Amino acid sequence: MTVAHALVSAHSQGLLASPELLLFDLDGVLMDTLPVMKSAWAEVQSELGVRVPFEAYAKHLGRPFADILVLLGLERIKGLADTYIAASTRNSHLARPFPGIEETLHTIARTGCRLGVVTSKSAQRASPLLEQLGVPFCALRTPGPERGKPSPDTLLMALVDAGTDPADACYVGDMAVDQEAARRAGLRYAHAGWGYGTPAEPLPIVLREPQELVRLVFTGAPESRA
């Protein structure tokens, strides 16, 4: 029997305590979209003469795109957002699930724990990517009237959508803004070590690979530290 099968069996017998809801960031946690973002930013640089390097943009990943432009001083460049979004949509085929994430999601779903996504991507761009994973998500929240991360708004609205208390949920992210949003929403937080950023102090649970979500989140094993 594999470890995954053993955990599913133990959960079905009531031997493991698990959250009712596991929320995920999308970029850097479920999907490797960095090639998409790099190609889109290259088009912004080429077509609009933007000289800000991608590395400067990448430091702010996790925040809504409009907020990143403000932080970079680029919010007044006409057509920048449209150029970036069009290029991202056109090059979305470059995105791939992180190795092991699909199997892990299916294993978690079999325990009865529900899955949700809270991302700074628009729903229009996020939904096709999530369809690649082949598991049901009971909540998908993106910035709209609500403030984006690091504000807790979208996380709290995802909890409302799922009818779940903060104490019964956990958020998995890869950037410091994810960690801050989870703290402000009163959620447990686990950091995806395979993602794009590093956690802030105090250090949270740090997962080295997707498969550790099952062991560390569901079995209460000792926390992994960065």
The three-state DSSP-derived secondary structure of 170-190 is EEEECCHHHHHHHHHHCCEEE
pLDDT of residue 218: 62
73 and 184, same domain (yes or no):
no
pTM of the model: 0.88
Residues 107 and 203 in one domain: yes
Query: How remote is the C-alpha of 158 from its chain's centroid?
Result: 13
Whole-angstrom distance, CA of residue 58 vs CA of residue 1: 41
Q: Which residues pair with 117 in a beta bridge?
A: 24, 140
- Is there a single domain that holds both residue 40 and residue 127? no
The reported pLDDT for the residue numbered 11 is 40
Per-residue pLDDT of the chain (226 residues; tens, 9 = 90+): 343 443 344 343 333 346 789 999 999 999 999 999 999 999 999 999 999 999 999 999 999 999 999 999 999 999 999 999 999 999 999 999 999 999 999 999 988 889 999 999 999 899 999 999 999 999 999 988 889 999 999 999 999 999 999 999 999 999 999 999 999 999 999 999 999 999 999 999 899 999 999 875 566 443 444 4
Q: Judge contact between 16 and 109, C-beta under 8 A.
A: no
Q: Is the same domain home to 86 and 58?
A: yes
Q: Quick one: 17 and 73 in the same domain?
A: no
At residue 19, the pLDDT reads 78
- Are residues 89 and 200 located together in one domain of the fold? no
Q: How far is CA 91 from CA 34, 86, 151, in A?
A: 11, 9, 29
CATH code (residue 104): 3.40.50.1000
Note whether residue 181 is domain-resident: yes
Domain that holds residue 199: 3-32+96-219
pLDDT for 222 equals 35
Residues 15, 8: Cα–Cα separation, whole Å: 10
Q: Which of 7, 1, 6 is nearest to 219 (CA)?
A: 7
End-to-end CA distance of the chain: 30
Residue in 211, 185, 171, 196 with CA at minimum distance from that of residue 4: 211
The reported pLDDT for the residue numbered 215 is 76
Model pLDDT, residue 8: 41
Q: How confident is the model at residue 160, as a pLDDT?
A: 97
> Are 55 and 139 in a shared domain?
no
Q: How high is the pLDDT of residue 112?
A: 87
